């Protein structure tokens, strides 16, 4: 859609590198653990030592398969390994073991909420997903005029799944929505922890523009923005790059036919995309089927068994929460987008309390807010699902009002323990009906105007007495108080 | 007493009966090396101390009545393409001149487990590329039969040290004939096993889909004993075959059933086949006919494409396998690079200088051929085409083995050639592989055994080839031939 202030359409394709959640590397038994001292999680195989040979980690293949199935990819009966050859100090063998023409996952798609209209969805098609090993990391120390480069090869051989989309996205917001939904899916499947700050999810974006001019559509040259590791960076980089390309086109008039793809990086501090050193010609990776590894043949049985055993997808969970618990689409969405842990928490609270809507509302307000304040995940949350279920059950049964329940919740957050203990510690006692009745009578007698109003049909007039009642006895249940007052007024009438 | 360094079987008998200690056998081998090697130059490293220590440990364990491995106390030499933790592993290249591998190749570990005494590492063509051992960066190996002749290659050192009587056994590697051709030139027996029969883990790769480690000895019986020790599936090599390892020494005293031997007429009439070699082949045919074998003419229709196919595939894989030697992680790093970085930057200068300085001419030639054959635009024309032809070559062998048990023919077109004769003519050198590369392309086992002497008293080899995994058949036939002839008992001088 073209508008006056944005006289172009952005075309975006993403390449997402996901680190798979294996304990060992793709072709050896070294640990994939993050943050180990440099060059400690290494062996002859991942160092590419002369004579060493790779052996496939079948768990990585399984995780890739799960991901492909969840993304609706076709799983070919045979997939193979190729060497992608280039010289780089992070790459000890001089080639990366990857998949070229026969990737493990072919095609597929991901459906996202349309950022332009939340009630609509968009389907982003995928080209492929393939397995490959990660390279190492160079650290350059240029302080004090030094030009030291140090290489940490711990990351060499870490299993990556590269998911490549079609250029189907039309805005930075769509790119972000795609990444958010993809990350959510991957964490639901438990195939990756998607820790972006640890590099478990890295994004390259291919961006160009379609500009309408005098009835013609002109495409600008494609730029690949490499290695972004936050959604914010992706969003901003794309937005910036679109502007930059438009200005460049205005100045040079160069189109996609005039220029091959260029590689840019994202400078977060300067908030701009910057060209990386350009190769004079397109890289020639001299792909070669890796003779050290056998092709992988996945049987129909294996694929089907994996499909059957797949964890629930977020999209399915959203539907299910709506139908099983009769909560609104918006509420289901909020809960599901918090991850599988929150969904499980919600379901336990809903079932345990017998009041799904109350559970939904408490979790969205009190639980999520507290989690955000504390910066904690649901797994570390102080109030267990069973405890919250018990608390909300008491609210539903009329034993506690919402305000007192929040006091109990706050107490549980700070002191943990059981609901009963919290109630005891807070001095909350259930007030017997006789006591409430005399309190009602006392207040009604003192406020004849209220009695008058209620008789005149203004039921809410009782509300003004509740505050007074609570002052006299904080354990008074407002609901009960209201009911008894009404009964007294009616019986007196 | 004379210590029979020309027979592992005899040595094992004497060691078992206590007539000889492992130390005596090892010392005899070391003494013999000291006497012959100044002229022959078969060794790149002699591990005197470690070999004697290993021998002492074996003697001690024998005295203590502890169980010992099948090669207990037998001196053995291994080609310097196999990784060893206690000796440098150089591939006879400046690139790895000081390389100490952090691990033992699987075959080396198996030799140690069999209690063989590894006396040293043997010279070879640089990175196993060559047919004369003249491309070694550490000096030439001469043919023990005549020091003006080459011992063949690339396992020239491994063949020469056996022929010189230094050790009864050695390990070579064969990518296009590198065990069989030097065995033929040096008058010994050498076997290239089925691809995948012996682990390649720790064999520094030349062309991964063709390389195979194999035994070299004076006769078939000793080859069988050595093959027993090294064969078998290895979890560290994905391409090693998950098949049972038979006892290759069993049944060597007879041939089971009727033996049908195939002759490829096209090869016997090949242009450039030396008449004396041709005569030796004819004589061998008669020996087998006399022993009751049936001689059958067979066709290998694509054998004219063996050498061209090989010289696309092998350099392509080599160019990839040798990428890891970039001066960054291991091997030679140019001290000059930093000072002359210039426009290319220090990194590219390091790559170019390090590789330029440390690789020899033949290695560079093959890297260039391989880079070209894999490069964009040529990959389909050369590499992919070669893979297609390779399939046809395999089918040729499959068809031939429908009608025969073994194929018999020459190993080399000529008897041993003179030092320097072909070194400046790569095409002539490549034709040395004319009859041997077929077995590597097809992955089948093939054996070279002494089959005659020229009028100049130089060895001539006879080649036997068998269907995949039929090493036992090959060794049976060779043993039968060696019972009927005495060529394998002929010694230089
Ligand atoms: Zn490793």
Residue A242 has pLDDT above 70, yes or no: yes
A residues 85-114 lying closer than 8 A (beta carbon) to B: 85, 87, 89, 92-95
Residues of chain A in contact with residue B91, where contact means CB-CB under 8 angstroms, are: 50
Count other Cβ atoms within 10 Å, centred on residue B426: 16
Q: What is the pLDDT of residues A446-459, one digit of tens each?
A: 888 888 888 888 87
State the average pLDDT over residues A184-194.
Answer: 96
Give backbone dihedrals phi and psi of A365, rounded to 5 degrees, phi first: -90, -70
B residues 106-145 lying closer than 8 A (beta carbon) to A: none
Q: What is the pLDDT of residues B299-315, one digit of tens each?
A: 999 999 999 999 999 99
DSSP B305-371: GHHHHHHHHHHHHHHHHGGG-SSSSSS---SSGGGG-GGGHHHHHHHHHHHHHHS-HHHHHHHHHHH
| CATH class of this structure's domain B1-492 | alpha beta
- B378 vs A: CB within 8 A: no
The radius of gyration computed from the CA coordinates of chain B, to the nearest angstrom, equals: 22
The H helix count followed by the E strand count for chain B is 16, 11
Compute the distance from residue A334 Cα to the ligand 1 centre, in Å: 41
Q: Rounded distance, CA B302 to CA B316, Å?
A: 21
Q: Rounded distance, CA B99 to CA B330, Å?
A: 8
**Minimal C-alpha gap between B200 and chain A (Å):** 8
| pLDDT for residue A278 | 60
State the average pLDDT over residues A428-444.
Answer: 79
Residue A215 has pLDDT above 90, yes or no: no
* Nearest Cβ partner for A286 among B205, B351, B371: B371
Q: Rounded distance, CA B477 to CA B192, Å?
A: 15
- Cα separation of the two ends of chain B: 21
Q: Sorting pLDDT into bands at 50, 70 and 90, what band is A489?
A: confident
Compute the distance from residue A53 Cα to the ligand 1 centre, in Å: 10
What residues are neighbours of ligand 1 (ion), with CB under 5 Å? Answer: A 28, 30, 43, 45-46
* Helix H or strand E segment including A218: strand A216-219
Give backbone dihedrals phi and psi of A381, rounded to 5 degrees, phi first: -70, 135
Q: Rounded distance, CA B245 to CA B399, Å?
A: 25
- B209 vs A: CB within 8 A: yes
Which residues of B are catalytic, by number? Answer: 79, 154, 178
Q: Sorting pLDDT into bands at 50, 70 and 90, what band is A280?
A: very low
Do the Cβ atoms of B492 and B163 come closer than 8 Å? yes
Specify the DSSP class assigned to residue B296: E
ipTM score of the complex? 0.96
| pLDDT for residue A5 | 67
Best probe of the B interface among A42, A51, A84, by most B CBs < 10 A, is: A51
CA separation (Å) from A360 to A33, A70, A349, A355, A412? 36, 27, 9, 9, 19
- A44 vs B: CB within 8 A: yes
State the average pLDDT over residues B165-183.
Answer: 98
| pLDDT for residue A1 | 46
The structural domains of chain B, with segments of one domain joined by +, span 1-492
Residue B380 has pLDDT above 90, yes or no: no
Whether B238 and A286 lie within 8 Å, measured CB to CB: no
| pLDDT for residue B98 | 93
Those residues with Cβ within 8 angstroms of residue A470's Cβ, 6 or more apart along the chain or in another chain = A476, A478
Whether A87 and B91 lie within 8 Å, measured CB to CB: no
Whether B351 and A284 lie within 8 Å, measured CB to CB: no
| pLDDT for residue B379 | 86
Q: Rounded distance, CA B86 to CA B95, Å?
A: 19
Whether B238 and A93 lie within 8 Å, measured CB to CB: no
Count other Cβ atoms within 10 Å, centred on residue A402: 13
Q: What is the pLDDT of residues A377-396, one digit of tens each?
A: 999 999 999 999 999 999 99
Residue B76 has pLDDT above 60, yes or no: yes
Question: Chain centroid to CA B8: how far?
Answer: 18
Q: What is the pLDDT of residues B238-290, one digit of tens each?
A: 999 999 999 999 999 998 889 999 999 999 999 889 999 999 999 999 999 99
Compute the distance from residue A303 Cα to the ligand 1 centre, in Å: 28
Kindly give the interhelix angle for B106-113 and B220-230, rounded to the nearest 10 degrees. 110
Give backbone dihedrals phi and psi of A254, rounded to 5 degrees, phi first: -70, 140
- B235 vs A: CB within 8 A: yes
Classify residue A224 as exposed, middle or buried by CB count within 10 Å of its CB (0-12, 13-18, 19+): middle
Compute the distance from residue A80 Cα to the ligand 1 centre, in Å: 21
Residue A279 has pLDDT above 70, yes or no: no
Do the Cβ atoms of A221 and A262 come closer than 8 Å? yes
Whether B237 and A44 lie within 8 Å, measured CB to CB: no
Q: What is the pLDDT of residues A177-188, one digit of tens each?
A: 999 999 999 999
State the average pLDDT over residues B381-394.
Answer: 96
Instruction: Please state whether the peptide bond connecting residue A234 to the residue before it is cis, i.e. omega within 30 degrees of 0.
Output: no
Residue B49 has pLDDT above 90, yes or no: yes
Residues of chain A in contact with residue B204, where contact means CB-CB under 8 angstroms, are: 50-51
CA separation (Å) from B412 to B79, B192, B371, B396, B453? 21, 15, 29, 21, 14
Is the full-model pTM beyond 0.90? yes
Nearest C-alpha neighbor of A73 from the set A354, A303, A351: A303
């Amino acid at each position: 859609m073209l508008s006056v202030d944005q006289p172009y359409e952005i075309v975006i394709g993403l390449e997402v590198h996901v680190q798979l959640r294996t304990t060992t590397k793709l072709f050896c038994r070294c640990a994939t653990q993050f943050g180990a001292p440099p060059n400690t999680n290494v062996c002859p195989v991942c160092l590419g030592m002369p004579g060493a040979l790779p052996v496939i980690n079948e768990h990585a293949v399984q995780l890739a398969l799960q991901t492909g199935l969840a993304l609706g990819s076709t799983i070919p009966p045979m997939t193979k390994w190729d060497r992608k050859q280039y010289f780089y100090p992070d790459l000890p063998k001089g080639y990366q073991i990857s998949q070229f023409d026969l990737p493990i996952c072919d095609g597929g798609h991901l459906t996202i909420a349309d950022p332009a209209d939340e009630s609509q969805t968009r389907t982003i098609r995928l080209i492929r997903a393939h397995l490959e090993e990660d390279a190492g990391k160079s650290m350059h120390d240029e302080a004090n005029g030094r030009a030291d480069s140090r290489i940490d090869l711990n990351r060499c051989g870490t299993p990556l799944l590269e998911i490549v989309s079609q250029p189907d996205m039309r805005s930075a917001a769509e790119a972000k929505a795609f990444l958010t939904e993809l990350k959510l899916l991957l964490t639901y499947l438990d195939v990756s922890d998607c820790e972006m700050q640890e590099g478990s999810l890295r994004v390259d974006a291919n961006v160009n523009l379609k500009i309408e001019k005098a009835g013609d559509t002109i495409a600008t040259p494609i730029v690949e923005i490499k290695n972004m590791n936050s959604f914010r960076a992706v969003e901003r980089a794309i937005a910036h790059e679109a502007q930059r390309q438009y200005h460049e086109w205005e100045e040079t008039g160069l189109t996609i036919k005039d220029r091959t793809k260029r590689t840019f990086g994202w400078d977060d501090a300067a908030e701009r995309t910057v060209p990386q050193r350009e190769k004079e010609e397109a890289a020639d990776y001299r792909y070669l089927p890796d003779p050290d590894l056998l092709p992988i043949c996945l049987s129909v049985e294996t694929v089907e068994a994996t499909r059957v055993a797949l964890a629930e997808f977020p999209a399915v969970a959203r539907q299910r929460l709506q139908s099983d618990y009769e909560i609104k689409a918006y509420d289901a969405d909020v809960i599901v987008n918090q991850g599988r842990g929150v969904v499980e928490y919600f379901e336990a609270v809903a079932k345990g309390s017998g009041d799904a809507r109350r559970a939904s509302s408490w979790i969205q307000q009190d639980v999520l807010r507290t989690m955000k304040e504390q910066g904690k995940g649901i797994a570390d949350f102080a109030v267990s699902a069973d405890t919250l279920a018990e608390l909300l059950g008491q609210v539903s049964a009329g034993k506690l009002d919402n305000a007192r329940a929040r006091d109990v919740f706050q107490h549980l957050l700070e002191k943990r323990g059981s609901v009963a203990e919290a109630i005891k510690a807070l001095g909350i006692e259930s007030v017997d009906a006789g006591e409430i009745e005399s309190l009602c009578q006392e207040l009604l007698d003192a406020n004849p105007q209220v009695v008058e109003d209620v008789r005149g049909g203004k039921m809410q007039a009782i509300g003004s007495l509740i505050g007074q009642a609570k002052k006299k006895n904080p354990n008074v249940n407002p609901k009960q108080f209201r009911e008894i007052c009404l009964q007294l007024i009616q019986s007196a009438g | 007493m004379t210590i029979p360094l020309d027979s592992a079987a005899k040595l094992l008998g004497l060691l078992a009966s206590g007539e000889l200690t492992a130390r005596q056998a090892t010392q005899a081998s070391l003494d013999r090396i000291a006497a012959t090697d100044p002229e022959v130059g078969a060794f790149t490293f002699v591990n005197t101390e470690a070999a004697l220590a290993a021998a002492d440990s074996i003697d001690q364990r024998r005295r203590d009545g502890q169980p010992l491995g099948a090669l207990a106390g037998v001196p053995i030499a291994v080609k310097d393409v196999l990784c060893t933790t206690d000796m440098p592993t150089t591939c006879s290249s400046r690139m790895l001149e000081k390389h100490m591998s952090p691990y033992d190749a699987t075959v080396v570990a198996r030799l140690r487990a069999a209690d063989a005494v590894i006396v040293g590492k043997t010279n070879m063509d640089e990175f196993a590329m060559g047919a004369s051992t003249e491309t070694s960066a550490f000096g030439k190996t001469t043919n023990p039969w005549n020091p003006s002749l080459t011992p063949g290659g690339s396992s020239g050192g491994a063949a020469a040290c056996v022929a010189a009587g230094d050790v009864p056994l050695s390990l070579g590697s064969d990518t296009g004939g590198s065990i069989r051709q030097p065995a033929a030139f040096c008058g010994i027996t050498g076997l290239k096993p089925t691809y995948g029969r012996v682990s390649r883990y720790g064999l520094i790769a030349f062309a991964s889909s063709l390389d195979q480690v194999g035994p070299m000895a004076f006769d078939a019986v000793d080859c069988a004993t050595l093959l027993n020790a090294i064969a078998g599936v290895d979890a560290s090599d994905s391409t090693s075959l998950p098949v049972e390892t038979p006892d290759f020494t069993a049944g060597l005293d007879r041939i089971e059933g009727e033996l049908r031997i195939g002759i490829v007429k096209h090869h016997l009439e090949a242009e450039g086949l030396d008449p004396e070699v041709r005569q030796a082949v004819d004589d061998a045919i008669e020996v087998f006919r006399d022993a009751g074998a049936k001689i059958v003419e067979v066709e290998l229709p694509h054998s004219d494409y063996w050498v061209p196919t090989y010289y696309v595939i092998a350099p392509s894989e080599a160019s990839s396998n040798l990428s890891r030697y970039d001066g960054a992680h291991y091997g030679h790093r140019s001290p000059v690079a930093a000072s002359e970085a210039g426009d290319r930057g220090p990194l590219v200068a390091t790559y170019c200088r390090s590789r330029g300085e440390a690789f020899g001419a033949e290695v560079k030639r093959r890297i260039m051929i391989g880079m070209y054959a894999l490069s964009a635009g040529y990959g389909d024309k050369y590499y992919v085409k070669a893979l297609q032809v390779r399939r046809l070559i395999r089918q040729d062998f499959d068809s031939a083995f429908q009608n025969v048990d073994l194929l018999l023919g020459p190993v080399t077109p000529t008897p041993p050639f003179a030092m320097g004769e072909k070194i400046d003519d790569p095409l002539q050198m490549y034709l040395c592989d004319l009859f041997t590369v077929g077995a590597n392309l097809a992955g089948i086992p093939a054996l070279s055994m002494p089959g005659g002497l020229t009028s100049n008293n130089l060895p001539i080899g006879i080649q036997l080839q068998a269907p995949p995994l039929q090493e036992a058949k090959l060794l049976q036939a060779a043993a039968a031939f060696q019972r009927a002839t005495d060529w394998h008992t002929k010694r230089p001088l």
